[in-house]
Structure 1
Amino acid sequence: MALSALAINCTLKASPQQSSCDLLLTQAQRELEKLGVTCEQLRAVDFDIKPGVTSDEGPGDDWPMIRQKVLAADILLLGTPIWLGHPSSVCQRILERLDAFLGETDDQQRMVSYGRVACVAVVGNEDGAHHVVAELYQGLNDVGFTIPANGCTYWVGEAMGSTDYKDAGPREKTANTNAMLARNAVHLAKLLKQSGYPGASE
């Protein structure tokens, strides 16, 4: 069964700057690719994503193109750094634009995002990964995505430290977590593709 994944990197750094979030997402994507998933990653700050909560905020808004990619994928992998204990402002904007799904339904009155899996990747130099994952899980579930067991991967450095993930070197535990995320996401995506959620009339 062919599956595809879209990773959205919510780093504050524009391309081609190095990004720890990019590294963690890429590592998770490699695990998905080992399982036959076709992957694409984009960096949100490289696009003009207008503020708002609709699917199209008018001229110059790049979100409609990204939205199309989100809905074309079976798996969404949302990655963010931790800033002041929270997801990046860029990540919050992505969630705000996904909010439009609350009012968009298919022919069975299900949110258009139904049947899609969402996972989370978090990096930072401070504690707070569980808090950030919880915030993103709640938002993604609210707008219709399904979260697999152990559907997150994260790395945080020493409290008040200065080492980034991209400078920390290989981490076996993170690698194992990436692989588990991929296995569970693919398993769930296949199940949802074979048997979707019931419609409002069922």
Structure 2
Amino acid sequence: MKAIIFNCTLKPSPIASNTEALASEVIKELERLGVETKLIRMIDHDIKPGSKSDMGNGDAWPEILKELLDSDILIMASPTWVGQMSSIAMRVLERMNGLYPVKDEKGIPVTFNKVAGFVVTGEEDGARHVVSEMAGGLMDVGFTIAPQCYTYWNNGPGPGTSYLKTNFRKDWSIETAKAVANNVVAVSKALKAMPISYSI
């Protein structure tokens, strides 16, 4: 089983990413469960704006898309900015739009039987809104959304410190990250045993 993690931070490498720090807790549990994982920091790649799977010369998305389609699980990880997902996360969802017409040799959408989970961080609230927006977008293009498949951390009301600079309620976020990993793996195993095979 393979999982790909899209870190949609606005910070290019090698700058420390709060979102990646929490996503690493999901990754550790996935690997403990025997899942092969790969994390991609999306801002480090030239993902062109657009709604197709290939936007032409220099577009990094087609190669990333190959890795996504070779995976069973997708973890979308985004910081919260002005109560919204990052612009990088939105671009990823926009590029997912290119998958609408793509089907396998049996006529089943290529995103069917793939499971999604979510990680969100932010100095202020908005995480649940970001999760619902990302989940809605992925469900719309065919991903299965597992129960309790997100973890998040925020500092509470008003501006404050970041995930990497505090221990405030991290224990909850880390334990929930373990639940995310276990739940997406359980649903992925169920889909392998009885895959979705009907499409219009």
Q: Distance in 2 between matches of 1:26 and 1:19?
A: 11
1:140-159 deviation digits (Å, cap 9, x = unpaired): 10011001100101001132
Q: Identify the match of residue 160 of structure 2 among 155, 159, 162.
A: 162
C-alpha displacement at 1:107, in angstroms? 2.4
Structure-2 residue corresponding to 1:83: 81
Task: Give the match's secondary structure for 1:41.
Answer: strand
Unaligned runs of 5+ in 1: none
Structure-1 residue corresponding to 2:105: 107
Q: Percent identity?
A: 39
Task: Report the number of matched residues.
Answer: 199
Structure-2 residue corresponding to 1:173: 172
Q: Distance in 2 between matches of 1:175 and 1:11?
A: 19
Q: Does 1:200 align with 2:179?
A: no
Alignment-mate amino acid for residue 199 of structure 1: Y
Please say if residues 108 and 200 of structure 1, whose CA atoms lie closer than 8 Å, have aligned partners that are also in contact: no
C-alpha displacement at 1:110, in angstroms? 2.0
Please say if residues 109 and 199 of structure 2, whose CA atoms lie closer than 8 Å, have aligned partners that are also in contact: no
C-alpha displacement at 1:103, in angstroms? 1.4
Q: Identify the match of residue 73 of structure 1 among 71, 74, 88.
A: 71
Q: Distance in 2 between matches of 1:171 and 1:125?
A: 13
Alignment-mate amino acid for residue 149 of structure 2: G
Q: Distance in 1 between matches of 2:174 and 2:121?
A: 14
Structure-2 residue corresponding to 1:10: 8
Q: Distance in 1 between matches of 2:151 and 2:136?
A: 16
| Alignment RMSD (CA, Å) | 1.2
Q: Distance in 1 between matches of 2:108 and 2:161?
A: 44
1:161-194 deviation digits (Å, cap 9, x = unpaired): 3210111237211121011111111101111112
Alignment-mate amino acid for residue 22 of structure 1: E
Q: Does 1:183 align with 2:193?
A: no
Q: TM-score normalized by structure 2?
A: 0.96
Q: Distance in 2 between matches of 1:69 and 1:108?
A: 21
Q: TM-score normalized by structure 1?
A: 0.95
Q: Distance in 1 between matches of 2:22 and 2:170?
A: 11
Unaligned runs of 5+ in 2: none
Task: Give the match's secondary structure for 2:109.
Answer: coil
Structure-1 residue corresponding to 2:35: 37
Q: Distance in 1 between matches of 2:113 and 2:13?
A: 31
